[in-house]
């Protein structure tokens, strides 16, 4: 073929590409028209403009369709997330729910007009010349949900008070919300004692006030004799309550604005313990903001460090080495794990700065959990020049942790789990078991928790044989709807109690984002099963917890896809991910699945995360489990997970692949794990 013919072929291919691109544009326009129709219908029935659960399901389906055409999963996720975000924007604009400050902003607050949240909201946005519409909410959680559902552009939440300290409920909600901090304001709170017309302090027998107001005005309240203090959900609502009761012996602690709003008398103003009584409010929105160059900014993060001496000091030293000034450090017990602490940190700078990005990247390698809550302009900091190169760009809090640098760029779509990001191997510690350490970790237990007697007998065997972790299925995703589906939360209670009885941490599977909190309360490790490896909403949900995650390889998934799935968990902040090879589906039918032992050394070369092997699900036959387990140890697995049962022939789930107790003891001996080896911290 001559050069002229080659040129004609290239030109024709380019014409064909232009035709395909034109069709894509036409289809995007058609999709936008459907989004506008959807906005009309949602407006007619007053539905939220955003459905995050459907969005994740839609993207998961597109990934599956893309795999049928040999398309890269990372590309599909990136393209469709952009399409979905644009669709939401189109709907919000059509419904008038967009965050356009030129026309006004809709803000969700806890409480009603006249509350301190309302006053702080007016002060913050009023200073920007923005018209504010308020959506009232009964609780902080409801205010956050109004933003997530698209009913409001932002919410204003109290974080801390100079008298009563941190508002812990808000800290916990921010961590789980998936929203971004976009601003803060220090609001001077001036508490007043209000009463109906004709009331007096001497006649007060009952006072309604918010819990925080009780703490902030404790000295004044102590001077009142024979007066009952009734905790109320909101300061302004307490004013409305006494207005409705119209009883001169009942008062309320609220603002002067509430007094004007409900035509009440201010019986005494300035009753807080301290005259300088300030509450710091934060502004929270769905999307991060770009901070103009030269504007002083703060960043808020949450982190959890390893449970060892000096771990917190080592983490804080990273900020010092990066010449970044810390302005706040607050500790909170981890939910469901009160022996360990979360640390909320505020520091100067924003995530678009190279120095901040470098510090966060280094910090990510050292901590167990890290989440950026947001970067935002701060009036508390003095103006200073930003050290940015012309080509630097604004990035949001999530991108700051996952943006590849030139030296660690990985084309496969994962960075945080790569050796380029962290060269040393991660060790995940759970109740004395160290996944990724020098010793092989053995996980054992039944496929499903069936009864108290069964799980107690199994836990005793697991402990006595020398294994480190007790497994047991409580929620069973079965291929057939007629198969045993597990005991659910009842089984989880049994598993957790058996683990405590015999000093063993426990691992069980979680099936949906809605179940994550409930399972995390009881299980020391959260397992993501093979069918859910690409359930992106579930991966994100476990990524927001502080429990280690055992992520099983999908039955038809590549190792790149496994690592990309792990990246979803890591990018949400949870660095405690354990990968599990459990066999993949091939044309071979002599075993249940084909155990890919080559995956262990390949993964160990690509990722710093620990790798365990599940030979039970690969084999499908108990006689094949021991040799496969020995082979897994030989290729360098950090752990092995096997199924055992007191009487496998009567097991309600996967009996043929479950080992008898005597077979399990023989396997432990072959692996060189001595019996009665106790693990500390169980």
Closest alpha carbon to 625 in 637, 613, 634: 613
Whole-number Å distance between alpha carbons of 80 and 537: 15
Q: What pLDDT score was predicted for residue 582? A: 96
The answer to whether residue 520 is domain-embedded is yes
Q: What is the number of domains present in the chain?
A: 4
What DSSP state is assigned to residue 453?
H
DSSP code per residue over 607-649: BSS-EEE-HHHHHSSGGGHHHHHHHHHHTT-SEEEEEB-SSGG
Q: Are residues 177 and 202 in the same domain?
A: no
Residues 33, 121 share a domain = no
Whether 127 and 255 map to the same domain: the answer is no
Q: How many residues does the chain have?
A: 682
The single residue of 220, 281, 475, 536 carrying the catalytic annotation is 281
158, 288: one domain: yes
Tokens for 247, please give them.
Answer: 């009883």
Q: Per the domain annotation, does 503 fall within a domain?
A: yes
End of a domain among 243, 271, 299? 271
Burial 494-529 (b: 16+ CB within 10 A, else e): bbbbbbeebbbbbbbbbbebebbeebbebbbbbbbb
Q: Yes or no: say if 516 and 542 are a contact pair by the CB < 8 Å rule.
A: yes
Determine the Cα angle at 551 with ends 545 and 552, to 5°. 155
Radius of gyration of the chain (CA): 29
With DSSP H G I counted as helix, E B as strand and the rest as coil, what are the percentages for the chain, rounded to 5? 40, 20, 40
State the CATH number of the domain containing residue 232. 3.40.190.10
- Identify the domain boundary among 247, 271, 295: 271
Whether residues 334 and 299 share a domain: the answer is: yes
Q: Who contacts 79 (Cβ-Cβ below 8 Å, separation ≥6)?
A: none
* Pair (471, 589) in one structural domain: yes
Indicate the burial class of 393 (C-beta count within 10 angstroms; 0-12, 13-18, 19 or more). Answer: exposed
Shared domain check, 41 and 28 = yes
Indicate the residue among 271, 305, 330 that finishes a domain.
271
pLDDT attached to residue 523: 95
Whether residue 248 is contained in a domain is answered as: yes
**CATH number of the structural domain spanning residue 521:** 3.20.20.70
Q: Which residues are within 8 A (CB) of 131 and not within 5 positions of it... i.e. 6 or more apart? A: 103, 104, 105
Distance of CA 362 to the CA centre of its chain: 20
Q: Does residue 267 sit in the same domain as residue 355?
A: no
Instruction: Annotate 95-121 with b (16+ C-beta within 10 A) or e (fewer).
Output: bebbbeeeeebbbbbbbbebbbbbbbb
Which of these is catalytic: 163, 279, 458, 508?
Answer: 279
Residue 624: inside a domain, yes or no? yes
In a domain, 423, yes or no: no
**Domain identity same for 28 and 164:** no
Residues 544, 648, single domain; the answer is yes
Please identify every stretch of the chain with a pLDDT value under 50, giving residue numbers as ranges. Answer: 99-103, 382-409, 411, 677-682
Whether 107 and 133 have beta carbons less than 8 Å apart is answered as: yes
Distances (CA, A) of 58 to 43, 51, 63, 160, 538: 22, 11, 9, 39, 14
Domain-located, residue 100: no
Question: Is 281 considered catalytic here?
Answer: yes
So what's the pLDDT on residue 340? 76
Q: Are residues 444 and 580 in the same domain?
A: yes
Whether 279 is catalytic is yes
Q: Is 564 among the domain residues?
A: yes
- Nearest residue to 273 (alpha-carbon basis) of 213, 193, 351, 330: 213
Dihedral of alpha carbons 15, 17, 19, 25, sign:
negative
The CATH number of the domain where 58 resides is what?
1.20.59.10
* Structural domain includes residue 543: yes
- Are 178 and 209 contained in the same domain? no
Could you list the residue range(s) of the whole structural domain that residue 462 is in?
A: 428-670
Q: How far apart are CA 228 and CA 238, in angstroms?
A: 14
Contact partners, residue 268, CB within 8 Å, separation at least 6: 192, 193, 201, 220
């Amino acid at each position: 073929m001559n050069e002229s013919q080659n040129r004609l072929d290239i030109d024709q291919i380019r014409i064909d590409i232009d035709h395909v691109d034109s069709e894509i544009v036409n289809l995007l326009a058609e999709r936008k028209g459907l989004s506008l129709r959807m906005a009309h219908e949602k407006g007619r029935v007053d539905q939220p403009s955003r459905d995050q659960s459907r969005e994740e399901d839609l993207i998961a389906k597109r990934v599956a369709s893309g795999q049928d055409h040999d398309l890269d999963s990372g590309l599909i996720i990136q393209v469709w997330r952009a399409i979905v975000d644009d669709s939401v924007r189109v709907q919000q604009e059509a419904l008038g729910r967009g965050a356009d400050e030129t026309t006004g902003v809709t803000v969700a607050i806890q409480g009603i007009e006249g509350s301190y949240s309302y006053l702080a909201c007016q002060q913050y946005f009023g200073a920007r010349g923005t018209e504010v519409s308020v959506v009232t909410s009964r609780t902080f959680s409801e205010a956050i949900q109004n933003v997530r559902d698209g009913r409001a552009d932002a919410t204003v939440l109290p974080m801390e008070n100079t008298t009563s300290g941190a508002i812990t409920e808000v800290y916990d909600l921010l961590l789980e919300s998936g929203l971004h901090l976009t601003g803060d304001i220090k609001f001077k709170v001036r508490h007043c004692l209000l009463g109906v017309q004709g009331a007096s302090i001497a006649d007060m027998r009952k006072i309604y006030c918010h819990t925080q107001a009780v703490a902030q005005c404790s000295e004044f309240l102590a001077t009142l004799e024979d007066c009952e203090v009734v905790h109320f959900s909101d300061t302004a609502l307490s004013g409305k309550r006494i207005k409705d009761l119209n009883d001169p012996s009942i008062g309320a602690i609220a603002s002067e604005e509430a007094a004007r709003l409900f035509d009440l008398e201010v019986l005494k103003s300035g009753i807080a313990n301290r005259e300088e009584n300030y509450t710091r409010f934060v502004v929270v929105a769905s999307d991060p903001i770009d901070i103009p160059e030269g504007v002083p900014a703060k960043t808020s993060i949450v982190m959890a460090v390893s449970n060892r001496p000096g771990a917190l000091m080592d983490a804080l030293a990273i900020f010092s080495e990066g010449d970044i000034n810390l302005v706040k450090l607050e500790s909170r017990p981890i939910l469901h794990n009160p022996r360990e602490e979360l640390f909320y940190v505020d520091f100067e700078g924003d995530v678009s700065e190279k120095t901040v990005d470098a510090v966060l990247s280094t910090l990510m390698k050292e901590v167990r959990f890290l989440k950026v809550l947001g970067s935002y302009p701060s009036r508390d900091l003095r103006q200073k020049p930003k050290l940015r190169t012309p080509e630097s760009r604004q990035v949001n809090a999530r991108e700051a942790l996952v943006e590849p640098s030139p030296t660690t760029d990985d084309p496969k779509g994962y960075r945080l789990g790569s050796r380029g990001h962290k060269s040393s191997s991660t060790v995940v510690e759970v109740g004395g078991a160290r996944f990724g350490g020098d010793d092989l970790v053995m996980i054992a237990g039944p496929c499903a928790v069936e009864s108290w007697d069964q799980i107690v007998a199994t836990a005793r065997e697991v402990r006595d044989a020398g294994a480190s972790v007790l497994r047991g299925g409580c929620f069973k995703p079965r291929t057939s709807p007629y198969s045993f589906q597990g005991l659910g939360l009842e089984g989880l209670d049994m598993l957790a109690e058996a683990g405590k009885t015999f000093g063993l941490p426990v691992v069980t599977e979680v099936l949906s984002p809605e179940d994550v909190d409930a399972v995390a309360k009881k299980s020391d490790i959260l397992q993501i099963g093979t069918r859910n490896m690409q359930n992106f909403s579930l991966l994100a949900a476990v990524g927001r917890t502080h429990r280690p995650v055992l992520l099983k390889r999908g039955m038809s998934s590549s190792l790149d896809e496994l690592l990309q799935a792990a990246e979803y968990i890591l990018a949400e902040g949870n660095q405690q991910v354990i990968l599990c090879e459990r066999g993949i589906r091939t044309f071979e039918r002599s075993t249940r699945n084909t155990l890919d032992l080559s995956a262990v050394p390949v993964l160990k070369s690509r990722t710093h995360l620990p790798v365990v092997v599940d030979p039970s699900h690969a084999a499908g036959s108990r006689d094949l489990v021991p040799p496969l387990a020995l082979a897994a140890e030989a290729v360098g697995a950090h752990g092995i997970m096997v199924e055992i049962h007191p009487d496998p022939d009567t097991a309600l789930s996967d009996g043929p692949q479950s080992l008898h107790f005597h077979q399990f003891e023989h396997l432990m001996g072959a692996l060189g794990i001595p019996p009665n080896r106790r693990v500390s911290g169980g």
